[in-house]
């Protein structure tokens, strides 16, 4: 399976368990790596036979900017579900970065990484 990836998508969201996170919001960074069979698209040079990464990028940002959730695990699942709604996407790996997480010690980043497949979505 081939891979189509979009990395470093940035959006402001209001996700988290603390009131300040919900009220003030913070930047989230998302990477998506989608398993797609690109042979049909390449054979006919047809965008309709692959996944339109520009559309996926806009949808991912809309999820991050959308309804707040407590956990980045939930946010990652919503993003995975959105990616899998595209017929060409067979599997997706989603990494959600929360670089401004409310942690009291110095750190670089907090991430959740999930991998979901069309098979998972059908269960």
**21 Cβ partners below 8 Å, 6+ apart?**
14, 15, 102
Number of residues written out for the chain: 123
Residue 98 annotated among the catalytic residues of the structure: yes
The count of other CB atoms within 10 Å of the CB of residue 38 is 15
Instruction: Point out the catalytic residue in the list 78, 86, 97, 98.
Output: 98
Report how far residue 59's alpha carbon sits from residue 53's, in angstroms, rounded to the nearest whole number: 10
Just list the catalytic residues.
Answer: 98
């Amino acid at each position: 399976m081939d891979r189509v990836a979009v990395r470093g998508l940035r959006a402001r969201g209001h996700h988290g368990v603390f009131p300040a996170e919900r009220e003030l919001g913070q930047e989230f960074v998302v990477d998506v790596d989608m398993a797609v069979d690109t042979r049909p698209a390449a054979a006919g040079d047809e965008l309709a036979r692959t996944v339109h990464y520009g559309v996926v990028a806009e949808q991912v940002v809309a999820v991050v900017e959308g309804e707040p959730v407590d956990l980045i695990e939930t946010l990652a699942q919503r993003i995975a579900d959105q990616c899998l709604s595209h017929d060409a996407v067979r599997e997706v790996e989603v990494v959600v970065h929360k670089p401004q997480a409310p942690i009291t010690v110095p750190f670089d980043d907090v991430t959740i990484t999930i991998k979901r497949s069309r098979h998972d979505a059908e269960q």
